[in-house]
Structure 1
Amino acid sequence: MAARRRTTRARPGSGVRRGLPGRGSVPSAVALALALLVGCGGNAAPDAARADVQRMLDRRAAAVLERDGTAYRATEAPTSSVAGQLATGTAEFVNLRGLPLAAWSYDLTAFDRSGDRATAEAALRYRIRGYDAAPVTAVRTLTLVRDDDGAWQVAADEPSEKGTEQLWEQGRIRAVRGERSLVLGVGRSTEVLREYAGLADRAVPAVTEAWGEDWARRVVVVVPESLEEMAGLLGSPASGYRGIAAVTTGEAGGSAKASADRIVVNPDAYDVLGGLGKQVVLTHETTHVATRAHTNAATPLWLSEGYADWVGYRGTGRTASEVAPELQRVVAEGRAPAALPADSDFGFSDDSGKLAQAYEGGWLACRMIADRWGEGRLDEFYRAVGGHGKREGAVEGALKEVLNTTVDEFTERWREYVRAQLG
């Protein structure tokens, strides 16, 4: 979400014919030429304010990295500088002290000045030490003022319309390191965050055993204080995540050098789960982190979500009826599904039963592949689908190439498997 810088060149003055001045007339001729150039829109000196602001933001970034509160406050305007706005940056500076940063920088992407006031948009880029291979970008809207000495300062630093809230805007961050995880929380005790780290540390090797070692093999888990704060981090209404225990953010189909994913927990839903449920959720989301580079527009949700559930439940000893109660119910009613779940079946709606059936159907499809063709073939099939790059023909090609079957044959075998497992 970074905007590109644009450079605008001033147009030279038009229609100005310069004669050769006579001896002794140079000053008046030069003055006349300058007057004509100004009047005809000649090259104006560029406003240095933008460059001054960028240098101030560079100092602000250095202060964050060096944990230098004095230097940071020097970039902050007094709270009275802009009516109705508070410079909350100082509090946020304290909040993010717990974040182990490897990089923090601002790239000014838009600038609009009016006298001693200005508004700007900046791409804030940061990396967490040991976890982010590339910077995470947050788009910020800045309100700027110039003090009596001509120095620009930040009066307000907020998410832009293109951006989302950041964890440090919600409160002071606590960071707990596990062996293979980093847990960042707000409003949670260190003891509680250690429990998350323990679950994440068990999820990473479980995913590696199923998927392989071609991923970072470490995860960042973000634990906000409530569902509302979770929604703020994701930039969506809270109603869309009610009942969803966690989600994984990141760029689907990204390269191995792309920025690390974040597993964002909905504490309202996660905290009511039992021990097994919490472990399955974190293992499921960790699977999304591991498979991200092979997941793209070609990958149907029944495969990406079904595979993540398959890894989550792998080795737990849970039976099909225990994992897929909603699908078992419709099978008992004689309404077994005729087709694999469509992407639209995974949409959040008031019909929670339909959503559960979609997840359960995807899980059984992946479980069937592992049972019939082997776990290695399941992984190969997943990678082959993503390797196609686009949806059309991806599943069909992978079914033929990896499993030596067709969509119709695979669907019929899945229907029989569902009835056999849940009937």
Structure 2
Amino acid sequence: MRAAGCALAVLLSAVGCSAPGPAPDAATGAVQQLLDRRATAVLQHDTDGYAAAVDPAASALRAAQRTELGNLAQVPLTSWTYKVTALDRHGATATAKVELGYRIRGYDTAPVTTARTLTLHQRGTNWYVTGDRPAEGGAQLLWQQGPVTVVRGTHSLILGVGQDPVKLHGIAATEDAAVPAVSAAWPGTWAGRVVVLVPGSLDAMAALLDAPAASYRGIAAVTTGEAGGAGAAPADRVIVNPDAYAVLGDLGRTVVLTHETTHVATRAHTSAATPMWLSEGYADWVGYRRSGRTAPQAAPELQKAVRAGDLPAALPSDADFGFEGGADRLARAYEGGWLACRMIAARWGETKLARLYLEVGAQHHREGALEKALTDQLGLTAGEFTTQWREYVRTQLT
């Protein structure tokens, strides 16, 4: 088999079975060993061992690293690893691209990963870290913002920085109610437990997402995760915006965390084929499912538009869920998606709604996926479904 594979390479690329390339720089292995020792120190809460990886001359960085490890003291880690993916060496200095992976005991079935960029300096035969920052497009980690307070719920783990523990216990109670509510609505198998991050401010939340704070000013919570992730995918994280969450009443907080928990439960069945009106609308439908809220109460912005004679001509597009169009447009998109899912549940049943979601998400490409699922599950073309939805919106909101 090895010879056949080599022959095929000759035919396809005319490269042939060439000799191996140059051996990798020995510094890569040395740096990897340094980081392996550093990872062990994290799991053993060995502050001296963790700081020992830092250049002795970088006293400020050493102090910061000691503080960072102390911030992690309450977090129940079950693994912590570094993987050097690239090393650019120039004499006694080097820049390494590193993948940091960690798991929280009882919650993560696979490592949550984040890309870091490390700068290093060689002293004698030893390498030391001189800088540690998020890779381009990467985000800050919660424990880099301050000491993490951990609150354990029945179905949840709440990790907060700069937050009153009483507030964190309140979030745990709301999340513990959200998990069974989601399980009662969603027929798919999921972990049934959620990690919630509660940073100290909107700006701190934005740093965790590597995004402008203005984008999340009115958003009470978001969920991070890999769409279409299977059982080996890292668990999602629900990140709370403490500023927006604080102004919500009990019902609003319940709806928000149930919505985000629905994203956690459905993530493995959400793919590039899933339109946002379905993924966001379904999460809102679960959130409002047992709330008793009427359509006008839950869709005030869309009701204003309908009463003004602006009945939407089509289901919300993915672009409608962006921040660029303003808060009103975004609210109407969520409300329109919710009403679409509410209509399906009312006319065809909750099981059909879930099956529609599952069938769409099982596809890898958008084209034709929703149309086929609508025909298979509801017996409607996309045009017929849109017509029924528009009439449903009109009758529910006028």
Task: Tell me if TM exceeds 0.5.
Answer: yes
Residues 328 and 229 (structure 1), Cα distance of their counterparts in 2 relative to 1, 3 Å cut: same
Q: Which of these residues, 271, 275, 299, is aligned with residue 250 of structure 2?
A: 275
Q: Contact 2:311 / 2:394 at 8 angstroms: preserved in 1?
A: yes
Name which of 220, 223, 245 aligns with 1:248: 223
Q: Counterpart in 1 of 2:10?
A: none
* Residues 285 and 320 of structure 1, relative CA distance in 2, 3 Å threshold: same
Matches within 5 A, 1:315-394: 315-349=290-324, 351-394=326-369
Q: 1:384 to 1:218 in 2, by over 3 A?
A: same
* Residue in structure 1 matching 2:117, options 108, 116, 141: 141
Partner of residue 123, structure 1: 99
Asked if 2 retains the 8 angstrom alpha-carbon contact of 1:86 and 1:155, the reply is: no
RMSD over aligned CA atoms reads 1.8
- What are the equivalent positions in structure 2 for 1:94-113 lying under 5 Å apart? 94-113=70-89
User: Which of 70, 73, 79 is the aligned partner of 2:48?
Assistant: 70
Residue in structure 2 matched with residue 59 of structure 1 by the alignment: 37
Render the CA deviation track for 1:162-187: whole Å, top value 9, x for unaligned.
42111111111111110000111111
The answer to whether 1:9 aligns with 2:21 is yes
How much has 1:325 moved relative to structure 2? Answer: 0.6
**Tell me, what secondary structure is at the counterpart of 2:247?**
coil
Instruction: Say whether 1:210 aligns with 2:188.
Output: no
Deviations 1:98-142 (A, max 9, x none): 221111011112223334332212111111111111111111111
Alignment check: 8 A CA contact 2:271 2:363 kept: no
User: Within 1, Cα distance between the matches of 2:220 and 2:20?
Assistant: 48
Relative distance call for 1:200 and 1:79 in structure 2 (3 A) is farther
Q: Please state how far the C-alpha of 1:146 moved relative to its aligned partner.
A: 3.2
**CA contact under 8 A between 2:274 and 2:366: conserved in structure 1?**
yes
Q: Describe the SS at the equivalent of 1:140.
A: strand
Task: Give how far 1:408 is off.
Answer: 1.6
2:208 match: 233
Residue in structure 2 matched with residue 48 of structure 1 by the alignment: 26
Are the structure 2 counterparts of residues 396 and 122 from structure 1 closer, same or farther at C-alpha, using a change threshold of 3 Å?
same
1:348–1:355 CA contact under 8 A, matched in 2:
yes
Deviation at 1:196, TM superposition (A): 0.8
3-state SS, counterpart of residue 229 of structure 1: helix
Report the Cα offset of residue 48 of structure 1: 3.2
TM-score by length of 2: 0.91
TM-aligned CA deviation for residue 94 of structure 1: 0.9
User: Does the CA-based 8 Å contact 2:51-2:62 persist in structure 1?
Assistant: no
Match of 1:199 among 171, 174, 191: 174
Q: Secondary structure at the match of 2:81?
A: strand
Instruction: Give the structure 2 partner of residue 24 of structure 1.
Output: none
1:326 and 1:77, CA in 2 relative to 1: closer, same or farther beyond 3 A?
same
* CA distance in 2: counterparts of 1:208 and 1:172, whole angstroms: 33
Please tell me whether residue 400 in structure 1 is matched to residue 378 in structure 2. Answer: no
Write the distance in 1 (CA, Å) between the matches of 2:20 and 2:150. 44
Which 10-residue stretch deviates more, 300-309 or 114-123?
114-123
- State the identity %: 59
Partner of 1:114: 90
- Shifted more, 188-197 versus 68-77: the winner is 68-77
Letter in 2 for 1:49: A
> For 1:88, what is the secondary structure of its paired residue?
helix
Uncovered stretches (5+) of structure 2, i.e. residues with no partner: 1-18
Alignment length, in residue pairs? 380
**Relative to structure 1, is the Cα distance of residues 359 and 77 closer, same or farther in structure 2, using a 3 angstrom cutoff?**
same
| Distance in 1 between residues matched to 2:313 and 2:26, nearest whole Å | 66
**Alpha-carbon offset, residue 145 of structure 1:** 2.4
Q: Give the partner amino acid of 1:9.
A: G
Pick closer, same or farther for the CA change 1:9–1:313 going to 2, 3 Å.
same
